[in-house]
Amino acid sequence: MREVILKEKLLTKFSRFSNFNLTQIPPYLFLRSFDHRGVVDSLEEIYWIRENVIFNLTCSPALTHRENNIAARFSQLASEVIEDCMMVSSPTKIALHPSYQEIIGMGKKALPLLIKKLDETPIFWFWACEAIAGINPVPKSHRGNIPEMVKDWKKWANTY
């Protein structure tokens, strides 16, 4: 019964959206974004939603229009992140930048572009890659070693 109520709440809250996949939202951002609106009560509910509530949501028409050329939009957003966050040392602040969040919101369509971007400015993109892919292919022994982390992501991308 709780699941039915939760699904109805979500459908009501997101009825203005389409083509948006809940699995693209990292759980901590989902909780921070929507718990104050009375949609979810716990992290367990978020995981249940991501695994069991299968429906498409759509972003605004403006976003749909922008997504017609994913590569161009990605490039613009990535440039904004780099320009605005070049002197920011906090990965959390970088990841919460609106353009960074929009890149994550692009989902798996952005993943090949992110993997390519790792060659230019790797430090910015590991979080987005993990948020979209849902995994971190970097072994503990390579963490902190940027060139090795880039290799691990590229190796993973070749098998993806």
Q: CA-to-CA distance for 36 and 124, rounded, in angstroms?
A: 29
Residues 36, 16 share a domain:
yes
The amino acid present at 134, given as its one-letter code, is G
Last residue of a domain, one of 20, 42, 58: 58
* Neighbour count for residue 116 (Cβ, 10 Å): 14
DSSP state, residue 18: B
What are φ and ψ of residue 68, in 5° steps? -60, -30
Does 70 lie in the same domain as 22? no
Tally of structural domains, the chain = 2
Question: Are 97 and 36 in the same domain?
Answer: no
Q: Is the pLDDT of residue 60 over 50?
A: no
pLDDT grade, residue 25 (50/70/90)?
A: low
pTM, entire model: 0.57
| 45 shares a domain with 20 | yes
Amino acid 144: pLDDT? 92
Q: Which residue has the higher pLDDT, 18 or 95?
A: 95
Statement to judge: residues 80 and 152 lie in one domain: yes
On whether both 38 and 92 belong to a single domain, the answer is no
Task: Provide the pLDDT for residue 159.
Answer: 86
Quick one: pLDDT at residue 58? 38
Question: What's the domain range around 78?
Answer: 63-159
At 110, phi and psi to the nearest 5? -85, -15
Helix (H, G, I), strand (E, B) or coil at 101: helix
- Residue 157 binned pLDDT confidence (cut-offs 50, 70, 90): very high
Of the residues 58, 77, 93, the one at which a domain ends? 58
Query: What whole-number distance in Å separates Cα of residue 116 and Cα of residue 83?
Result: 18
Q: What is the DSSP letter of 134?
A: S
The mean-pLDDT minimum among 6-20, 46-60, 144-158 falls in: 46-60
Q: Phi and psi (nearest 5°) for 58? A: -120, 145
Residues 9 and 71 in one domain: no
Q: Read off the DSSP letter of residue 129.
A: H
Single out the residue in 12, 40, 58 at which a domain terminates. Answer: 58
Mean pLDDT over each residue of the chain, to the nearest integer: 76
Same-domain pairing of 81 and 109: yes
